[in-house]
Amino acid sequence: MGIVGAGPAGLLLGHLLHLNGIDSVIVENRSREYVIDRVRAGVLEQGTVDLLNAMGVGAGLQRAGLRHEGLYVSFRGSRHRIDLAELTGGKAITVYGQNEVVRDLIDARTATQRPLYFEADRVSIGGLDSSSPIIGFRHGGAGHEVHCDFVAGCDGFHGICRPSIPDGALTVYERVYPFGWLGILAEAPPSSDELVYTCHERGFALFSMRSPRVTRLYLQTLPDEPIENWSDDAIWDEMLERMTTRDGWRPTVGRIIQKSVTPMRSFVAAPMRHGCLFLAGDSAHIVPPTGAKGLNLAASDVLVLARAMKVYYEHGRRDRLDQYSDTCLRRVWKAQRFSWWMTSTLHRSPDQNGFDHQRQIADLDYLTSSRAAMTSLAEQYVGLPSEVSFDSAGL
């Protein structure tokens, strides 16, 4: 299989195929350092943690991952805890940076000695309607071609695989939000052991962490807000204004070591397959980060794809390949709905009036006082059950 992209989707897929004895070549246009250093997701669902452990790549996660059995929702100056583990029969989320996940997977790939090309130039794909597609690219000054049975488009939202599908073959569903997230990493010990989602009159804020010494915080801003507009002092003033609760809880202030603004969108391209090209992860769908689902959806897509490949190579059966898109999209749409709901319940829209804000507060009041509502959030936040057993994917 030819795999375009060495993000979480491409690297996980490559290792799953390896464990099933299926050859793959991974082609990535960025450098190894760039791919590892990119600061992105940090919340792993229970199923993603179980998958990494079952694949034998969970050592770093077990050593440094922070298991969270609850989270806080904060509004009107008070924090309300939702006990994820108690409401879901013991499931939890684990905070472990996406860059750590990617580093562990690159190490695992390197140990298998299977091909992984970084800094590939002019990557292209062709022959998608044939039985022998080709990935073309330049590397080290020479042209290369990978002739494969299938191509996995794991090259993210801005990659080349989805745009290689002929016009009219895909239906795109999209919502662009009128806000973005200003995210910072700060050298400050987390002042809470669990995430705090805050709905404030001045906009959404999220308290999170990466390690016992590093805090990760987000503020709702305009989607195109220049980061230069925000001095470090202004960021801390706004964080404290939105997050400080009546009981005196607030984030610990520290040196800001990274800051950026990310716009937010919901996006699905369907079907997730065209001929012998299979889209997985962000190349097929994007969620606003409020529900922490992006990386987790990439993991669930490639588990479905790995099972389909195993069934094809072991038994010559194409039925799982044919079902790939429908199987993935069922989970994708539930994650889209959850991410949209979390986003619209916690953020302040520019066209929002007093009625809308009171409705949000009522929603949050209900959420934090009804066991049924808390259970609904908890089971979606820790991750809905997978449609694919690890056993059926060769684990």
Note the residues at the interface with ligand FAD (CB under 6 A): 4-10, 27-30, 35, 40-43, 98, 120, 123, 154-156, 159-160, 262, 281-282, 289, 292-295, 298
Q: How many residues can be counted in the chain?
A: 395
Between 214 and 361, CB nearer to ligand FAD: 214
Q: Which is nearer to ligand FAD, 308 or 342 (CB)?
A: 342
Where does the chain show beta strands of DSSP type E? 2-4, 25-27, 43-44, 66-68, 71-75, 78-82, 93-95, 116-117, 121-126, 134-139, 142-147, 151-153, 171-187, 196-199, 205-209, 214-221, 255-270, 273-274, 277-279, 285-286
Q: Which is nearer to ligand FAD, 50 or 86 (CB)?
A: 50
Examine the residue annotation and report whether 68 is marked as an active-site residue of this protein.
yes
Which candidate in 15, 293, 310, 347 is catalytic?
293
> Which member of 72, 96, 117, 381 is catalytic?
381
Separation between Cα atoms, residue 59 and residue 143, nearest integer Å: 37
Close Cβ partners of 279 (under 8 Å, ≥ 6 residues apart): 153, 161, 162, 269, 272, 273
Those residues with Cβ within 8 angstroms of residue 32's Cβ, 6 or more apart along the chain or in another chain: 106, 118
Contact 68, 92 (CB under 8 A): yes
Nearer to ligand FAD, 1 or 6 (CB): 6
Q: Give the span between the Cα atoms of 323 and 58, in whole angstroms.
A: 29
Q: Which lies closer to ligand FAD via its Cβ, residue 5 or residue 58? A: 5
Q: How far is the CB of 289 from ligand FAD (least distance, A)?
A: 4
> 21 — alpha (psi -120 to 50), left (phi > 0) or beta?
left
Catalytic residue among 289, 310, 324, 347: 289
Structure tokens at 170: 């895909």
- Least separation in angstroms between residue 295's CB and ligand FAD is 5
Q: Which C-beta is closer to ligand FAD: that of 116 or that of 308?
A: 116
Cα–chain-centroid distance for residue 80? 25
Output the smallest distance, CB 282 to ligand FAD, in A.
4
**Which among 254, 258, 259, 243 is positioned nearest to 213, based on CA atoms?**
254
Q: Which residue number, 139 or 357, has a Cβ lying nearer to ligand FAD? A: 139
Respond yes or no: is residue 274 known to be catalytic.
no
What is residue 166's DSSP assignment?
A: P
Buried b (16+ CB within 10 A) or exposed e, 52-74: bebbebbebbeeebbebbbbbbb
Q: In angstroms, what is the minimal distance from the CB of 354 to ligand FAD? A: 30
Sorted by sequence, the CB contacts under 8 Å of residue 72 that are 6+ apart come out as 79, 80, 81, 82, 192, 194, 195, 196, 197
Q: Which residue has the tokens 């079902």?
A: 323
Nearer to ligand FAD, 14 or 42 (CB): 42
Min. distance of Cβ 154 from ligand FAD in angstroms?
A: 5
- Write down the least CB distance from residue 35 to ligand FAD, Å: 5
Reply yes or no on whether 288 is catalytic. no
Would you say 179 and 203 are in contact if contact means Cβ atoms under 8 Å apart?
yes
Whether 308 contacts 201, CB under 8 Å: no
Note if 381 is an active site residue: yes
Residue identified by tokens 């800051």 is 259
Shortest Å distance, C-beta 232 to ligand FAD: 20
Q: Is the dihedral of CA 141, 26, 158, 170 positive or negative?
A: positive
Q: Given 18, 68, 80, 310, which residue is catalytic? A: 68
User: Smallest distance, Å, CB 149 to ligand FAD?
Assistant: 19
Which of 72, 96, 117, 197 is labelled catalytic? 197
Active site residues: 68, 197, 289, 293, 381
